[in-house]
Structure 1
Amino acid sequence: MKKTLLATAIAGAAFASGAQAATVYNEDGTKLDLYGNIQIAYYSVNDANGDAQDEIADNGTTFGFAAEHVITRDLTGYLKLELDDIKADEMATATDDEDAGDTAFVGLKGNFGDVRLGSYDQLIDDWIQDPITNNEGFDVSDSTALHGNGADQQTDKVTYTSPSFGGMEFAVGTQYKGDNDSADGGADQGSSNASFFGGAKYTAGAFSIAAVYDNLDNTVYEDLDGNVDSVGNQYGLTAQYTVDTLRLAAKLERFDADGNVNRDDTNFYAVSARYGYGNGDIYGAYQYVDVGAGSFLSELDEQIQDEQNRDETYNEVILGATYNISDAMYTWVEGAVRDRENDQGDGVGVGVTYLF
């Protein structure tokens, strides 16, 4: 499961009905919370040959610390640390640097807004992709998957998020990679580099709309001539409307390969709905994926694309439901149809989550 615990808590009806973090210290303006979950799931998913492969696996078990300290009446410092690749099925913590400690940041917040420094989810993930499918096991595909290592895109960032001005807020940030950092895909930047990402969100009552851009300048590839360049750009636009316990969302997302012949310009058009029925949620999403959409390629690039037969479209459908066993424990079931060759990626999953 790709989301952080807090995103899971918002999406899962179990948390909404009462489960919460444990405050272990709260004195003199300083507060420390501990929180976490255990997640176990069973999956059966088709491989590239169309053969079902099943397993019982950890589904994103998390343990976290959140702290804040009131510096002045209008200024608060805070931190958050999540170990979110703890393997409950193996009773061991992952040691791979790309997987361990996915969320670790410090920040300052006040009337001026919020400044955050460290490792955390991408803005396009939070504002554009999650409102469509921030599910337990199966999400629709997105532009992040097209450029490889999304985990690397979460690190070494600073973000400023403004306060709301009549419902309008914006966020701008950068990911900084120094001389000693190795960029995504193993290609060395050779020098320090700062990327740019930013977005704006407008909320009016039950309606909200958000737009995000990320230039992916630190997510690079090396071409046949040894040149290192950005894999492309990400854009996204998502609108949401909530009425009672029903949330509706629509998304337009694009990955612009920007001349990278190893990737394809791809558009994603998606709609989703989530309904809280009292003892849990039922939810679903449909997405149309247009691979090769709007590409501006040279004659050689077009020949490479034709040879690899990458000009395709897909229809993706995700359906799921949760059921609350208690305020802190729930079960879920999900299914996915991805419209790929040999039904690759189609599957079902069931699981149980305990939150504290």
Structure 2
Amino acid sequence: MKKTLLATAIAGAMVVSASASAATVYNQDGTKLDLYGNIQIAYYDVKDASGDGQNEIADNGSTFGFAAEHAISSDVTGYLKLEFDDFQADEKKVTSRDTGDQAYVGAKGYFGDVRLGSYDPLIDDWIQDPITNNEYFDVSDSSNRILGVGTNDREGDKVTFTSPNFGGLQFALGTQYKGNAEEDTFTGVIDTDVEHTVESDSSASFFGGAKYTAGAFSVAAVYDNLENFDGTVTDINGTATDLDYKAGDQYGVTAQYTMGALRVAAKYEVFDADTSEASDAAGFDVGDSDYAALGARYGYGMGDVYGAYQNISYDNSNIDDRNEVIVGATYNISSAMYTWVEAASRDAENDAGDGFATGITYLF
């Protein structure tokens, strides 16, 4: 699930305040260190691909993090963020050390912001999250179609420049670099019997976006050329091949408007898939997919109620178009603790992905 450490509630309906969600443990000589985290435990009951309900009490993304900054000069600040979410609060276990959350270093000031490390994709932050950045269920997005046809890492090895705000206009440019020492093996999206290895040349992708804010209204657009998902299919079910593979492109636009305690958002997002010989041979000729969505969140005083509707249109004739509906609500127990309930309908075969979830979160 996509998560933010501080719930993305609108003004007047914050789940928790920032002051209740971080502790400054050091602040001296221009250097500041904050300690923060949360415990999230949920119960869910969700149908699998065969239509059978799968239920569990589970960790829902519990996080422990550090944020530090120091003054490089009077108008430039260096910073870092380090988050861990590789433990299971429901069973008091720690998973392997190849898991985690965000880790990056950067500098910000009059010139804008430059960041290097591992963090959410720009299209996630600016395009997808305004529709649903919920506790358990989110509407699907174009990244669901990409993962499995290239590297599974959308967050690591990135550098991003975000400009200052020019009268409401802001832009961001970035790249993700993957060296030729990195390779992955995947199973075909359409033909799940197909397995292959993609060995990528050293490459640097391009992603960028622009956002404009005027009062309570904002609109954002993002493009990602998915360069690091391109490569050479070197093996298909034990048969040597030498086919160039390209994933395609990903782009979208989202608009938001806030009216008091109500925030509404609309999204149109596209995965423009490649239809090459390699895509077909590897069982990855998934076809284009379009995502049109509406979302809303309302703060009622003691929490939020929210919901979203999305239509997904697939170019591939093997996959039916579908409509998704997500609804949910939160209730503030205190300034640092809240409970929530959500339900989802995916309109998929055998009702796969339909379900119910509820849980509790404590933040510090």
Q: Scaled by the length of structure 2, what TM-score is found?
A: 0.88
Question: Residue deviations 1:95-135, cap 9 Å, x none?
Answer: 162xx222000001000000000000000000000000000
Where does residue 139 of structure 1 map in the other structure? Answer: 138
Where does residue 113 of structure 1 map in the other structure? Answer: 112
How has the CA–CA distance of structure 1 residues 48 and 169 changed in structure 2, closer, same or farther, with 3 Å as cutoff? Answer: same
CA contact (8 A) 1:170 1:201 kept: yes
How has the CA–CA distance of structure 1 residues 112 and 221 changed in structure 2, closer, same or farther, with 3 Å as cutoff? Answer: same
Where does residue 338 of structure 2 map in the other structure? Answer: 330
Where does residue 188 of structure 1 map in the other structure? Answer: 199
Distance, in Å, in 1 between the alignment partners of 2:269 and 2:15 is 30
Question: Residue deviations 1:191-247, cap 9 Å, x none?
Answer: 311000000000000000000000111124654543243312111100000011110
Do residues 343 (structure 1) and 351 (structure 2) align?
A: yes
What code does the residue aligned with 2:326 have? I
Helix, strand or coil at the partner of 2:154: helix
Where does residue 291 of structure 1 map in the other structure? Answer: 314
Task: Point out where structure 1 has 5 or more consecutive residues left out of the alignment.
Answer: 293-304
What code does the residue aligned with 1:91 have? K
Q: CA deviation at 1:15?
A: 1.7
Distance, in Å, in 2 between the alignment partners of 1:154 and 1:25 is 29
Aligned pair count reads 337
What code does the residue aligned with 1:332 have? W
Where does residue 171 of structure 2 map in the other structure? Answer: 170
Distance, in Å, in 1 between the alignment partners of 2:97 and 2:76 is 36
Distance, in Å, in 1 between the alignment partners of 2:4 and 2:184 is 24
Q: How large is the RMSD of aligned CA atoms in angstroms?
A: 1.8
Where does residue 297 of structure 1 map in the other structure? Answer: none
Where does residue 298 of structure 1 map in the other structure? Answer: none
**Higher deviation after alignment, 109-118 or 77-86:** 77-86
Q: CA deviation at 1:85?
A: 2.8
What code does the residue aligned with 2:324 have? E
Task: Point out where structure 2 has 5 or more consecutive residues left out of the alignment.
Answer: 187-196
Which of 262, 265, 269 is the aligned partner of 2:292? 269
**Higher deviation after alignment, 312-321 or 228-237:** 228-237
Q: Scaled by the length of structure 1, what TM-score is found?
A: 0.90
Q: CA deviation at 1:342?
A: 1.2
What code does the residue aligned with 1:349 have? A
Q: CA deviation at 1:264?
A: 2.0
CA contact (8 A) 1:184 1:218 kept: no
Helix, strand or coil at the partner of 1:326: coil
Distance, in Å, in 2 between the alignment partners of 1:84 and 1:340 is 30
Do residues 23 (structure 1) and 39 (structure 2) align?
A: no
Helix, strand or coil at the partner of 1:23: strand
